[in-house]
């Protein structure tokens, strides 16, 4: 039975930009997926991005086979501050930026990835230093500083409009250390772009496309519900 929101299944994925597979034992700061449908709520732990993408495709395929609809939310930015997409691709279409990032990103089945190299290459498209920053000190160089204060003259806004309203959200330029989401965005967007290629017009990306396809992807920010989550969390529950 389709819900009042028009979806038969809702999925939320807690993402990770880890460069290695997460521990075999379910752990925090890793990839988790929750599925809610007529059968109830189910959570699963995934050690790699490749693994969770396979699980997502299985969910999407089952949804399509049943003639149903699914909303899938991911906790990383789907876009960047105004002007970035045009500077990189020459157009303002955010999904053109998705395709560009997907062509740059290498993300192996074991989680090995080139996110810092991608950030360096993107930074070289801009004057000054930046906008991306954050990496282990040993990997920092003239193109990718370890600290945000080392940036200058790149010309990009620091935050998207939504992050100006929700100030607890970190800027998407920050790739490393506490609260960073920039690496998750680079790797996540590339993975979701592959889903767009696979499912075609059966998949829509909100808010860039009308959310009327059988599969709809959306950005979510679960930290906005931190209080509600804490109140329901069980003893020793991750």
Give the tokens for residue 202.
């059966």
Position 167 scores a pLDDT of 87
The number of CA neighbours under 13 Å toward the Cβ of 167 is: 0
Q: For residue 229, what are the CA distances in angstroms to 222, 223, 225?
A: 9, 9, 6
Position 146 scores a pLDDT of 98
Instruction: Please tell me the distance from the alpha carbon of residue 29 to that of residue 40, in angstroms, as a whole number.
Output: 25
DSSP state of 47: S
Contact 68, 8 (CB under 8 A): yes
pTM of the model: 0.95
pLDDT (tens digit per residue) in 8-36: 999 999 999 999 999 999 999 999 999 99
Position 142 scores a pLDDT of 97
- The whole-number mean pLDDT for each consecutive block of 10 residues of the chain, a chain of 238 residues, reads 73 97 96 97 97 98 98 98 98 98 98 98 98 98 98 97 91 95 98 98 98 97 92 90
User: Strands, DSSP E only, in 3-137?
Assistant: 9-14, 31-37, 40-46, 70-74
Per-domain residue ranges for the chain? Answer: 9-76+199-232, 84-186
Position 192 scores a pLDDT of 98
Taken in order 37, 39, 40, 45, is the CA torsion positive or negative?
negative
- In three-state secondary structure terms, 10 is strand
Q: How many helices (H) and strands (E) does the chain have?
A: 7, 6
Position 4 scores a pLDDT of 41
């Amino acid at each position: 039975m389709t819900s009042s929101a028009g979806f038969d299944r809702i999925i939320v994925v807690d993402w990770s930009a880890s460069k290695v597979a997460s521990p075999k034992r379910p752990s925090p700061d890793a990839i988790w997926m929750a599925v809610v449908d007529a059968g109830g709520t189910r959570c699963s732990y995934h050690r790699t991005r490749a693994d969770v993408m396979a699980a997502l495709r299985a969910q999407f395929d089952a949804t399509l086979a049943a003639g149903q609809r699914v909303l899938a939310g991911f906790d990383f930015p789907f876009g960047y501050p105004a002007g970035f997409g045009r500077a990189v691709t020459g157009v303002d279409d955010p999904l053109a930026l998705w395709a560009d990032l997907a062509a740059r990103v290498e993300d192996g089945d074991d989680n090995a990835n080139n996110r810092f190299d991608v950030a360096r290459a993107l930074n070289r498209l801009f004057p000054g230093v930046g906008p991306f920053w954050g990496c282990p000190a040993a990997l920092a160089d003239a193109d990718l500083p370890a600290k945000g204060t080392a940036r200058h003259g790149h010309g990009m806004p620091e935050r998207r409009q939504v992050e100006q309203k929700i100030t607890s959200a970190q800027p998407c330029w920050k790739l490393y250390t506490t609260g960073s989401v920039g690496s998750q965005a680079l790797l996540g967007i590339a993975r979701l772009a592959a889903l767009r290629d696979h499912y075609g017009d059966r998949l829509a990306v909100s808010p860039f496309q009308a959310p009327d396809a059988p599969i709809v992807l959306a950005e979510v920010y679960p930290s906005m519900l931190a209080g509600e989550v804490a109140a329901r969390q069980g003893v020793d529950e991750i």
